[in-house]
Amino acid sequence: MDFHYNTWKTSSHVDEANCLDCHTEPGVKGFIDAKIRALTELVVHITGKYEVPIKSNIRVKDTQCLRCHPDAETIAD
């Protein structure tokens, strides 16, 4: 997890985007999914039942990047 955080911290996104901007989908479904994930993380933190180092299983989908970078799709072509 440190690698991912440090990469974000030194990127151009640090002043523009927080974790949820990239790691949640828009709309009600994204909101609910984020709340469920946060509740799960809270329970894991309180119980101490997690592996160290913490493994990140949250992926950033292209559609999430395209919300802020709509022209990026044409750059890859």
Q: Is the pLDDT of residue 75 over 70?
A: no
**HSE, side-chain direction, 13 A CA sphere, residue 62:** 6
Average pLDDT, stretch 12-31? 86
Q: Which of 12, 11, 37, 44 is nearest to 23 (CA)?
A: 37
Torsion of CA 69, 41, 37, 12, to 10 degrees: 0
| Averaged pLDDT score across all residues of the chain | 83
Residues 34, 20 contacting (CB under 8 angstroms):
yes
pLDDT the model gives residue 42: 93
User: Is the whole-model pTM more than 0.75?
Assistant: no
The SS3 of residue 54 is: coil
pLDDT the model gives residue 76: 52
